[in-house]
Chains A and B, each alone.
Chain A
Amino acid sequence: MVIDMHTFPGFLEEICQDPKRVAFRREQYFLYKQHVWPLSLFVLQMNAAGIDKSVISAEDVTTRAGDTIVSNEEVQKLVELCPNRLIGFASVDPWRKDAIQVLDKAFGELKLSGLKLSPAIQRFMPNDPMMEPIYKLCERYQKPILFESGMTWVKNSPSRYGNPLLLEDVAIAHPNLKMCMGHFGWPWVRETAMLILKYPNLYADTALLYFDSPVQFFEHTFKKDLGEYWIDRMLYDKVLFGSTYPRIEQKRMRKAVDSLTMRPLQRELVLGGNAASFLGLEEA
């Protein structure tokens, strides 16, 4: 099974009935010319890329921008429309006074499968004590967290919040809380490699593309910045396939992962086996 851990559903037609909301998404998510298209086309694109399931995430920026970019309810709606292909992650703005209630509803009532947090976009330090109730709730529901780590293209989102090293304290304090560092924490990829090597509950996804074509950028990141055999020999059970769709097509990111030096079993884990474990799908 191939699972894309890192996609954004904000321009799927089924949740784009309000043109003002679409314009808000384009501006807030820095995807100015993104077309709106139906969920059925997203499924065709997954098929063409050989992807079985995609994680779609909400994005809550209520205290900063006055609204969610994509709400938890919209994510749940999409998952209900395509339950065999989509896995829904909630979002909560940690600065909201009702953050715990929002998250409790997302897990308890909406049955979403995990939490997406975007420290740079939402402007919080992952190791800030104010995050403790959120982490404890995730532990109580046994839900994993996907962090936007490293650089985000979204404007007005200072990169210091995205430094993956900020997750080290959280990993130590919450050894049973599974956390994935999105974008492999780029440009802090060596720090990310260190963290996933050291902490059993930390993972990283491959949704990184900042220069060049995906294949060329992976060549540089995973064969020059990092050792060519590091994933194959050591990190094969800690790296999850992610695309960052629709900033780039899933098929191109799949091709980039296919270009990495890995043996078949290790590749199978990176493409989906690790995500299935991270998401608890194996136990379902």
Chain B
Amino acid sequence: MVKHYEFFVTTEDEYYTTYIGDTVKAFIAESGVQNGIVSVVTAHTNCGIIVTEPLDCILSDLNVLLHKLVDDDAEYSHAHFLPTYGRTSANAYGHLRSILVGNSTTLSLVNGKACMGEAQEIVFMEFDGPQARKVFVDIIGE
């Protein structure tokens, strides 16, 4: 059985994190799938999805690290008019941070529950907000 769900995260600032584990777990319960895998993927290229411990200090350290690794104002090539969009890109830093953290996570599903350690939580990370971000949840199993 394959069940597909979508939901939106409205982010409130340029750099913004929020926990989405409860939403994913609600879809798992709704799906009726007992054993299989769960895939959580964002539809965008300047935000990310990670699994980590839900502590403000961890997210704060990650914020500092990503800003050290990726400068907001470097002389990026991705800073020009995009004729196919009719608008200008100037968000290379968001794309690069997204590439570094990844845009998805996959979890095992056993007896109707996502297999996660006690310290683990799914975190949605915004790198170019505020925006309305779409997230796909695919539950595959039986």
Contacts and interface: CB of A to CB of B under 8 A. Distances in A.
Q: Does chain A bind chain B? A: yes
Interface of A: 29-35, 37-38, 40-41, 44-45, 47-48, 153, 209-216, 246-249, 251-252
Interface in B1-36: 10, 12-14
Contacts of B76: 213
Given A41-B131, A153-B81, A213-B76, A33 B88 contact: no
B87 to A, nearest CB: 4
B90 interface: yes
B85 A44 contact: no
Contacts of B131: 37, 41
Contacts of B81: 153, 210-211
A31 B88 contact: no
A281 B52 CA distance: 49
Given A41-B130, A44-B12, A33 B79 contact: no
Contact of A44 (B10, B79, B90, B91): B10
Contacts of B111: none
B129 A48 contact: yes
Contacts of B90: 213-214, 248-249, 252
A37 B8 CA distance: 12
A33 B84 contact: yes
Contacts of A248: 87-88, 90
**Central interface residue in B13, B88, B129, by most chain A CB within 10 Å:** B88
Contact of A211 (B12, B13, B80): B80
A214 B89 CA distance: 10
Interface in B35-64: none
Given A216-B79, A247-B86, 19 more contacts: A29-B86, A34-B85, A40-B10, A41-B10, A41-B131, A41-B132, A44-B10, A44-B12, A48-B12, A48-B13, A153-B86, A211-B80, A213-B79, A214-B90, A215-B73, A216-B75, A247-B87, A247-B88, A251-B14
Interface of B: 10, 12-14, 73, 75-76, 79-81, 84-88, 90-91, 129-132
Contacts of A210: 81
Contacts of B91: 249
Contact of B130 (A29, A34, A48): A48
Contacts of A30: 86
A47 B10 CA distance: 14
Nearest to B13: A48
25 contacts: A31-B85, A31-B86, A31-B87, A32-B85, A34-B85, A37-B132, A38-B132, A40-B10, A41-B10, A41-B132, A44-B10, A44-B12, A44-B130, A48-B12, A48-B130, A153-B81, A211-B80, A211-B81, A212-B80, A213-B76, A213-B90, A214-B88, A216-B75, A248-B90, A251-B14
Contacts of B88: 209, 214, 247-248
Contact of B85 (A33, A40, A48, A213): A33
A129 B130 CA distance: 45
B135 to A, nearest CB: 15
A211 B126 CA distance: 26
A249 B129 CA distance: 10
Contacts of B79: 212-213, 216
Contact of A246 (B10, B13, B73, B87): B87
